[in-house]
Chain A
Amino acid sequence: GAGVSQSPSNKVTEKGKDVELRCDPISGHTALYWYRQRLGQGLEFLIYFQGNSAPDKSGLPSDRFSAERTGESVSTLTIQRTQQEDSAVYLCASSLAATQNEQFFGPGTRLTVL
């Protein structure tokens, strides 16, 4: 498929465990974005990458959250020592470049922290 893909689609974990969420952007898209969508709320911007660099990490909710991108392709969002308030759908999007208007979204990873 040519769209943005994310894995896993669902993740249930216990409080205190670490989790890794993966995003495969559309091939050739240099910009990649992570958002969080809590139940019944809008999307909250977390971080974006231009290439493999993340110029602004201020959107990450805490130092338990980190993200990396390699090969201007796959990105991983890592949440350490998960808390119940981390439960949300994590959405990834990509665009041709950061200045391009349209972001294409993946289906998301639903994270549940018990």
Chain B
Amino acid sequence: AQSVTQLGSHVSVSEGALVLLRCNYSSSVPPYLFWYVQYPNQGLQLLLKYTTGATLVKGINGFEAEFKKSETSFHLTKPSAHMSDAAEYFCAVRNNAGNMLTFGGGTRLMVKP
């Protein structure tokens, strides 16, 4: 069985500060990993994904994530937070058959002016 743990249900940063959202996973097979963002009253939007190859993945809106197999982590970062980054972020792992995503509990990012 696969699982995803997001450390910190709420993260608050100042505008311009580094954003770091943590994600750890467990998977018995090489994982496919995803970060989604959910703005208020909207559906989930894919930020970035890791499948194979380069372990540092760049996504939209200046976000990136690094797959670290030894740490079973896929933390999301952004060098400088914008007010528009305030949203809920979900980390997910895809199962082997590709028919299901297992999501973490989500992290709500708040950006202070």
Contact = CB atoms under 8 A, between A and B. Distances in A.
A106 B43 contact: yes
B41 to A, nearest CB: 7
A interface: dominant SS: loop
B44 A105 contact: yes
A40 interface: yes
Most A CB within 10 A of own CB, among B4, B6, B43:
B43
Contacts of B43: 3-4, 91, 105-108
Nearest to A92: B43
A48 B95 CA distance: 13
Interface residues of B, number: 27
A100 B46 contact: no
Interface residues of A, number: 29
A98 B100 CA distance: 8
Interface string B42-65: 111110010100000000000000
Contacts of B90: 42-43
A99 B96 CA distance: 9
A57 to B, nearest CB: 12
A42 B103 contact: yes
A41 B102 CA distance: 12
Interface of A: 3-4, 31, 33, 35, 40-45, 48, 50, 55-56, 59, 91, 93, 98-108
27 contacts: A33-B99, A40-B9, A42-B6, A42-B90, A42-B103, A42-B104, A42-B105, A43-B90, A43-B101, A43-B103, A45-B101, A48-B99, A50-B99, A55-B99, A56-B99, A59-B100, A91-B43, A91-B44, A93-B44, A99-B97, A100-B98, A101-B49, A101-B94, A101-B98, A103-B101, A104-B46, A105-B36
